[in-house]
Each structure stands twice: as structure tokens, then as C-alpha cells.
Amino acid sequence: MCIVTGVSISACDNKKTGTGDNKETVTANDSNKKEESTTTTTIPDVEEGKTSETTMISTPVLDNIAVGKEKIGYLNSALLLEAVPEARAIEKKLEEMYKGKEAEFSSLSKTAQTKLQTYQENGHLLNETERKSREEELMSLDQQLQKMQYESSSEMEKKRQEMLAPLLKRLDKAVKQVAKDNGYTFVLDPSLGGVVYADTTRDLLPLVKAKLGLKK
């Protein structure tokens, strides 16, 4: 016997009938029994080359998530974004905006390198006070460079997200509409490592809540 609770089988054992066929009966423990209907499915018995009949529970939600109805699509949104001229224009504008910051960083970096080289060559000629002063100056320049690099990168990324937001929203809407119009159940995106579209009728939340006895 197979005992089905919710959507999972909790225990199974087979009993032979007088005719030698295996009979497998599935029962369900569900508070909403009035809404349930049953269908009988004949399945093959691999071990004995026979068939057995299984009584399955049918509910509106289970019908929606029935195996075999899924249509799964694939989309790399990173490649899609690269193909859009508007996205390339935004990247070009960002590069132009930060050319000034790159020049400023490069100038300060050269200054720090020159001072470091001078200190390495002539540091042994300096007294303790002068040597300490030069070392503090070099440390200060290094900290300035790190701060400038971090702030510039962070600011550029923030600006990129702001400029791309309307375009990304439009692309997301187009992807979902295409998926819906063509009957896709799920659309996977490897560049994001997840699902970018899912048919909401396949949501298991109602079944799980019912299993846990949770109200709406």
C-alpha cells in the first residue's frame, strides 16, 4: 500500500491478489476531501512484467503542476543586454564620465611611485625624524589611492545601475511577455544563476500551507 500525504509518498508495500496482479492503492489525508476526485492509472510492474492500478488524487492545484505539462526555456540576459544598442551607449557614456577620475588617480599614483623610489634610494641618508616623515607621507599617499579607487569603483557601479534600471525593467517585461505568450512554464538564466520567469499557477505554496494546516 502507498500512503500519500499532500504531495509526497510516505510508505509503500505491495500485496498480491488472487489473480497474481499487484494492487497498489493510494489514499490521501486531506481536510478538503469534498474537492478531491480520484483517477485510476495503470502502471507497469518492472519486476514481474505485470501491471498494477494506482488510484491518484486529483485537485485543481495538482492538475496545474502535473508532470509533462512543463515547457522550460533558456535565456542568457547578459548576452541580451550586450545586444541592445542602448546598453552599449550607456557604457560608453559612463566611460567618458570617469575619464577625469582615472586621470586623477593615475597622476596621484605616479607621484606616490616617484616619492617611494626616492625614499628607497636616499632613505639611508635621512635622519630619524626625516625618515619617519617620509614614511608617513608615503603611507598617506597609499591610503589616498586606495580610497580613491574604492570610491570611484563604487560610484561608477551605482551610476551604472541607475542608468540601466529603466532598460533592465523593459527587457525583463519583454522576457516575461514572450514566455507567457509562448506557453513557457519556466525560463532559466545562467548569467543570473536562477529562474527569470515562472508560471504562477505552478506555485506549491497553497499545497504546502494546506499540508501544514495554515490558513490563508
Domain range list for the chain: 2-58, 72-206
User: Which stretches of the chain are DSSP H helices?
Assistant: 60-64, 77-83, 85-97, 99-122, 128-181, 205-211
Question: C-alpha dihedral over 174, 176, 177, 178, to 10 degrees?
Answer: 80
Cell numbers found for residue 98: 570617469
Contact 51, 20 (CB under 8 A): no
CB hemisphere CA count around 99 (13 angstroms): 6
The rounded distance, in Å, linking the Cα atoms of 65 and 111 is 66
Q: What is the pLDDT of residue 68?
A: 56
Contacts 24+ apart (CB under 8 A), 120-127: none
Going from the first residue of the chain to its last (216 residues), give the mean pLDDT of each consecutive group of 10, the final group possibly shorter. Answer: 40 44 44 44 44 43 54 91 92 87 89 91 88 92 91 90 94 93 92 88 87 85
**How distant, in Å, are the alpha carbons of 7, 9, 57, 86, 210 from that of 214?**
16, 21, 21, 47, 6
In the DSSP assignment, the letter for residue 125 is: G
Q: What is the pLDDT of residue 182?
A: 93
Q: What is the pLDDT of residue 179?
A: 93
Q: What is the pLDDT of residue 204?
A: 87
Contact 39, 55 (CB under 8 A): yes
